[in-house]
Amino acid sequence: MIPYGRQSIDDSDIDAVIAALRSPWLTQGPLVPRFEQALSRRCQADFGIAVSSATAALHIACLALDIGPGDTVWTSPNTFVASANCARYCGASVDFVDIDPATLNMSVAALEEKLASAKKSGNLPRAIIPVHFSGRSCEMREIARLARQHGVRIIEDGSHASGATYLGRPVGCCEFSDICVFSFHPVKIMTTGEGGILLSNDHQLAARAARLRNHGITRDTEAMQECDGAWHYEQLELGFNYRLSDLHAALGLSQLTRLDEFVARRRAIAESYNAGLAHLGIGLPLASADSAWHLYPIRLPVERRAAVFNELRERGIGSQVHYIPVHLQPYYRKLGFAAGDFPVAEAYYRQALSLPIFPGLSDSDQQLVVRLLSESLDPS
């Protein structure tokens, strides 16, 4: 089976983790801040807070922005459920902004219209979470312009986009947002096994996020109400055990040295797909020299999508569908959402199919994917 995504691990990664295992530290030790600093420098952000997953990063990002009951957060319906769930964890309400049919990211036009309507009704969101679907940055400059007009905060969900760029700068620099988060799940651009990071240029947001990932505890004597000695710590708020371990950070530091290589290979595969599939007359993703290409999503005729998915699976091609629109999940239907609420995302879902893309995908395996897809769509 050729999966739609797979981690790329080499001997240097293995050696890095073995060295961490032989060190005095297994949990959060000196490698975690080294990883945070290296990733922050790479992204041109001031602060990085490494955590146990991107979901954890999204959760504490919301908390750091004081999102809670009575607030509303808007995100894209074309994403994994974590992009919406993070607001629900905080007791906030969730709503969605439909996607652009070309980029599959949050539509700037739909956002502008929804913000204007929300201002009139007095129901502006506390924050917006644009999602960089498939590794392509949203139009963050325009999203930020609209959000700042209304005092709305921005959390970038960059789970797909480590290594991507936007307007010549790395995604994650937070030029147009308060916070950006990345995922280091094994199928993402680079991996720590499991893990994520929160990036920000705001010292207070970063400091609070660091405290929230560690049970809400501080050892900073200036932040304490009292200090009995060097052993003393205080819990200042209700936090979580969202820490990353040194084992995970060791792998992340090693992977980071090859991030450019990973992204370059993904971009080459995407270009090859664009050329190899052009004759099929199907919907191909927009060409992009800036995307990290976490996914290569194609669009098939609605009546053929399920059959092609099954045929590829039967022949050893692990295609996948990204994503079932979040508002159509049973949990969100119970909150009042329904089919027809976000028609562009729903139309895309009915056609969507993600083809295998990862650095270890060989040219011959990619050619096999193209051939089998072609045969499935045109058996003659």
| Segments making up each domain of the chain, as ranges | 11-256, 259-377
CB count, 10 Å around CB of 272? 17
pLDDT digits (tens, 9 = 90+) for 97-135: 999 999 999 999 999 999 999 999 999 999 999 999 999
- The two beta strands, 234-235 and 217-218, are antiparallel
Catalytic residue among 114, 119, 188, 334: 188
pLDDT digits (tens, 9 = 90+) for 345-354: 999 999 999 9
188: annotated active-site residue: yes
CATH architecture of 259-377: Alpha-Beta Complex (3.90)
pLDDT of residue 231 exceeding 80: no
Q: Is the pTM of this model over 0.95?
A: yes
User: Which amino acid appears at position 299 of this protein?
Assistant: R
Centroid of chain to Cα 203 = 22
pLDDT value, residue 175: 98
User: Among 358, 372, 379, 366, which residue's Cα sits nearest to residue 160?
Assistant: 358
pLDDT value, residue 230: 78
pLDDT digits (tens, 9 = 90+) for 54-89: 999 999 999 999 999 999 999 999 999 999 999 999
User: Among 184, 189, 192, which residue's Cα sits nearest to residue 245?
Assistant: 192
Q: Which helix (H) or strand (E) holds 128?
A: strand 127-129
Fold assignment, 11-256: Aspartate Aminotransferase; domain 2 (3.40.640)
